[in-house]
Amino acid sequence: MAFLYKADPARGAQWAKLFAQKAPDLPFHIWPELGDPDAIRYLAAWQPPDDPTRLFPNLEVVFSVGAGIDQFDLSGVPAHVPVVRMIEPGIVEGMVEYVTQAVLTIHRDLFDYGLQQHQQVWRELPLKPAGARRIGVLGLGVLGTAVLEKLRLFGFACAGWSRSPREIEGVDCYAGESALDEFLARTDILVCLLPLTPATRGLLNAGLFARLPRGASLIQTGRGPHLNQPDLLAALDSGQLHNAILDVTDPEPLPAGHRLWTHPRVRITPHIASATRPESAVEVVLDNLRRHREGLPMLGQIDRTQGY
Ligand code: NDP
Ligand code: OXD
């Protein structure tokens, strides 16, 4: 019985060390070193190989090393093999930090002050209290909920949107297509923390931007293909959107010379909003292996019918 890791090899080396300490009886391999393919029962990957059960006929569980699983070709993983995404405290902490700094950057007009600094202009802009700033988070899952719980403490007017109805203390929760208009109309800073599925691909487009109040801002921490990039540029140029902070783009990396790189009201980071932390991730994976052995549901097992 063995565990195979197929993702960034430097992080794989950290996983290997942690497995050696915490599960010394479970042989751990880092792709492309496989050992005996018949012994591989568990695979953790950013992207599994094609046809994994042909390569590893005794495969029992596939883990995503990331929170999202859109990079998986689920049709290649037979239905009897559960697919488990990463839910671990390190990813949550990183995302809460990133979105909080992005919201505060926009809320405290640091984009505009940056432009002023560039022109050596010393001019005070009107200060808006947090309670007058309306934050709206698309996606009320593990990450969206954690982000809102933090933002609420600053006094922002917080709301979120999900597929099924949710309840979060101090947050106005909206659910489903029919509630999207109302949610958007009350949102000054829109944060995307959705999974990428056929239903959410391209959701951040001209039609959606037009339903936000004029001058709203976007923080995009979901997946690049949620966003129609030409529509974003048009909305920024027309003033419908005031600024945008993008952690994810399509494609990644964003090609050299793309207009988004140099737009004065766009800030770009290279998909670093959050990352799986080996120390906490290995604990969670080992706990899921225990659950699997005991026939208990694993934390983060995805619903294939929904694609997340
Ligand atoms: P979850 O699965 O816990 O939450 C997803 C949320 O999105 C749920 O509230 C779900 O609704 C909602 N949702 C899904 N589809 C729809 C839809 N069609 N309409 C409305 N709401 C929908 O995911 P996480 O919070 O753990 O992660 C969210 C995403 O964040 C990841 O999939 C990934 O894309 C991104 N991410 C980005 C990172 C980065 O560094 N930039 C790092 C980690 C994650 P419901 O509650 O009804 O199920
Ligand atoms: C993730 C990511 O999904 O890093 O975990 O984007």
pLDDT in tens, 8-49: 999 999 999 999 999 999 999 999 999 999 999 999 999 999
Atom of ligand 2 nearest to the CA of 274: 4
Q: What CATH number did the domain enclosing 158 receive?
A: 3.40.50.720
The mean of the pLDDT values for the chain is: 97
Supply the residue whose CA is at minimum distance from atom 5 of ligand 2. 66
Same domain, yes or no: 138 and 18: no
Task: Write out the residue range of the structural domain in which residue 287 sits.
Answer: 2-88+276-293
Is 33 in contact with 57 (CB distance < 8 Å)?
no
Q: Are residues 155 and 17 in the same domain?
A: no
Distance separating alpha carbons of residues 255 and 232, to the nearest angstrom: 16
Q: Is residue 301 in a domain?
A: no
Distance set, CA 87 to CA 67, 132, 187, 244, 298 (Å): 6, 33, 28, 27, 11
Does the Cβ of 69 fall within 6 Å of ligand 1?
no
Pocket perturbation via mutation, ligand 1, pick of 88, 96, 143, 223 by most ligand atoms within 8 A of CB: 143
List pLDDT tens digits, range 285-294.
999 999 999 9
Do 69 and 158 share a structural domain?
no
Domain count, the chain: 2
Residues 205, 73, single domain; the answer is no
Q: Is the peptide bond before 48 cis (omega within 30 degrees of 0)?
A: no
pLDDT at 285: 98
Query: Looking at the structure, do residues 137 and 255 belong to the same domain, yes or no?
Result: yes
- Shared domain for 63 and 159, answered yes or no, is no
Indicate whether 179 belongs to any domain. yes
Residues 79 and 110 occupy one common structural domain: no
pLDDT at 95: 98
Q: What is the pLDDT of residue 270?
A: 98
In a domain, 139, yes or no: yes
Q: Is the CB of 66 under 6 A from ligand 2?
A: yes
Residue 288: CB atoms within 10 A of its CB come to 22
Q: Are residues 110 and 257 in the same domain?
A: yes
- Substitution site in 91, 196, 197 for ligand 2 pocket (most atoms within 8 Å of beta carbon): 91
